[in-house]
Amino acid sequence: KEKLRQQFIIYDCDGKPILGGLQNKFVIGSIFRNQGRKMADRMLKTIKVLQDRGQDNFVFLAHCDPYDNASVSNLCYLATRLGIKHRVYFTGMRYYKGFPMAQMNFVYNVMDVFFLSTSGEGFGIPILEAASAGIPSVITDYTCYSDDTRVYTETGLKYFNKVKENELVWSIDLE
């Protein structure tokens, strides 16, 4: 995992590319389009609470386009207002040009945990993709997955950690 992180280029809120910026960090990752029902603002507020709790060695990696004209919130502006801009990074994906499958494999495999604060999913493909990469998931209890969802992956039986919105921060344990 650290070798992948060493080679992975991320982008800060100013669009500056950073090689190896995920090294030796706990990576909370998410894959979404910045639409209202994805509740990206709540993900950033959760990151803020984690920081305020004294957690230090983590970053939030968003596989979304911060410049998408259809975005409901300016994630970089919100990250700056919350004082977490130094923790929020992007993969460089643009809404009009996705990543090839091999590159998506890298995106999932640099994560320590997959996080999605959606208010509803039809099928939730990123959740299944994270599970197939063996990445534990923290998702809200508003998705298409039932409380007893189990996904079998090559790494064994994985349970999704499903929580109510106000419990999101307590479900991400960085230890």
Instruction: Give the per-residue pLDDT at 20.
Output: 93
User: Please, is 84 exposed, middle or buried when counting C-beta atoms within 10 Å of its C-beta (0-12, 13-18, 19+)?
Assistant: buried
63 within 8 A of 27, measured Cβ to Cβ: no
Instruction: Give the per-residue pLDDT at 85.
Output: 97
Backbone angles phi, psi at 115, to 5 degrees: -130, 125
Question: Which residues in the chain show pLDDT less than 50?
Answer: 147-166, 168-170
Note the pTM of the prediction, 2 decimals.
0.82
Instruction: Give the per-residue pLDDT at 81.
Output: 97
